[in-house]
């Protein structure tokens, strides 16, 4: 279905696997005087660090429509600073009840049952089930994969890649006849480098056809490393990718949010990429926390009728916040402010 853009130059038709009509998704109108294509929720942070008894922080989490409301998988660091994944549910995407116990995965064998940490989940609905990806430990960070239909039982699959890798994000549909994933090869530590790569699989077990997608850009907000954010959104202009970019300041890393458009048939090809960030650490809850100066997008809701977006992002590695916008405006901004990929 094609709908005129809210302020309309670029015409875009949204195609999202699964339910796309979300009239009751979290939303707040653009504040008076705000001209940027993304604006923050006035009630941020939407999920505080202590929502769970005993939690140190709740951030970098995945939210999807589910059962007339919303389900999520949340990164919850406890007071021992163990990183674990917890399920949660909400009627409106704003007020959440999160399970106090970490998610138990059913692994394919005992070799993958050993857990050191799990963090930074993403969720893609493909076919008849929800696929969960996260940063998993197996002799170092790698990409874990599991699926669920009810958010109660999670069947773990083989890890997608060898260590070291982070930010595994599935596409919400097969590309051609194969599953597709974005990731960021890394090292064992805090990784002062990183580009986005594309990989394909016939069965979610064996991965190949690795292609380079995005690299860093010198002297910019994304000069140190870049990584995929929420599950990409398919539009007639290409796959809309919201991602994070990092610069190294005299006071450490600074994480900001940007956008790119990827070719629909060959998603490793960049159609456009915004030169400017769309959201950077400027509010107190983004600048002050366990890791200061972090805006880290991880999930995105889209109502296909109104073309509205709600983007969940981790703030200062401590809380979860929300930003809003329109698909058409983000696409137009990305094209009009594009730099040479």
Predicted confidence (pLDDT) per residue in 188-237, tens digit: 998 999 999 999 999 999 999 999 999 999 999 999 999 999 999 999 88
pLDDT of residue 115: 85
Of 118, 112, 117, 106, residue with least CA distance to 148: 106
Helix (H) / strand (E) element for 269: namely none
Gap between the Cα atoms of 150 and 155, Å rounded: 11
The total of structural domains in the chain comes to 1
Taking only Cα atoms into account, the Rg of the chain, rounded to an integer number of angstroms, comes to: 18
CATH number of the domain that 233 lies in? Answer: 2.115.10.20
pLDDT of residue 341: 52
pLDDT of residue 8: 41
Sign of the Cα torsion 188, 189, 191, 192 reads negative
- Asked if residue 12 belongs to a domain, the reply is no
- Asked if residue 31 belongs to a domain, the reply is no
- Identify whether the C-beta of residue 138 lies closer than 8 Å to the C-beta of residue 113: no
Gap between the Cα atoms of 331 and 30, Å rounded: 17
- Asked if residue 27 belongs to a domain, the reply is no
3-state secondary structure of 108: coil
Parent domain of 56: 38-336
Q: What confidence tier does 17 reach under pLDDT thresholds 50, 70, 90?
A: very low
Q: In this predicted model, what pLDDT tens digit does every residue of 238-260 receive, in sequence order?
A: 999 999 999 999 999 999 999 99
Gap between the Cα atoms of 336 and 339, Å rounded: 9
Q: What confidence tier does 15 reach under pLDDT thresholds 50, 70, 90?
A: low
- Asked if residue 18 belongs to a domain, the reply is no
- Asked if residue 22 belongs to a domain, the reply is no
Q: What confidence tier does 306 reach under pLDDT thresholds 50, 70, 90?
A: confident
43 has a pLDDT exceeding 90: yes
- Asked if residue 3 belongs to a domain, the reply is no
- Identify whether the C-beta of residue 108 lies closer than 8 Å to the C-beta of residue 156: yes
- Asked if residue 15 belongs to a domain, the reply is no
């Amino acid at each position: 279905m094609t709908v005129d853009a809210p302020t309309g130059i670029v015409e875009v038709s949204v195609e999202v696997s699964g339910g796309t009509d979300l009239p009751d998704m979290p939303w707040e109108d653009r504040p008076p005087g705000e001209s940027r294509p993304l604006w923050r929720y006035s009630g941020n942070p939407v999920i505080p660090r202590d929502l769970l008894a005993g939690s140190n922080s709740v951030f970098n989490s995945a939210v999807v429509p589910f059962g007339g409301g919303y389900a999520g998988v949340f990164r919850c660091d406890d007071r021992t600073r163990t990183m674990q994944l917890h399920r949660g549910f909400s009627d409106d995407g704003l007020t959440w009840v999160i399970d106090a116990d970490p998610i138990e995965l059913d692994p394919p064998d005992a070799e993958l049952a050993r857990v050191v940490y799990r963090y930074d989940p993403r969720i893609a609905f493909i076919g008849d089930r929800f696929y969960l990806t996260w940063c998993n430990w197996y002799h170092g960070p790698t990409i874990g994969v599991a699926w669920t239909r009810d958010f109660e039982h999670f069947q773990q699959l083989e890890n997608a890649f060898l260590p070291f890798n982070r930010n595994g994000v599935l596409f919400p549909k097969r590309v051609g006849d194969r599953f597709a994933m974005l990731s960021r090869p890394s090292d064992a530590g805090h990784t002062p480098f990183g580009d986005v790569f594309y990989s394909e699989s016939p069965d979610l077990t064996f991965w190949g056809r690795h292609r380079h997608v995005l690299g860093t850009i010198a002297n910019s907000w994304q000069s140190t490393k870049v990584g995929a954010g929420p599950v990409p959104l398919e539009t007639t202009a290409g796959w809309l990718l919201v991602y994070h970019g990092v610069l190294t300041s005299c006071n450490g890393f600074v994480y900001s949010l940007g956008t790119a458009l990827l070719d629909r048939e060959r998603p490793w090809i960049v159609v456009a990429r915004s030169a400017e960030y769309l959201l950077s650490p400027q509010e107190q809850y983004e600048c002050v926390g366990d890791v200061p100066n972090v805006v880290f997008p991880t999930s995105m809701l889209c109502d296909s009728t109104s073309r509205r977006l709600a983007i969940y992002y981790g703030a200062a590695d401590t809380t979860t916040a929300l930003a809003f916008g329109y698909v058409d405006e983000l696409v137009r901004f990305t094209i009009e402010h594009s730099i040479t990929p």
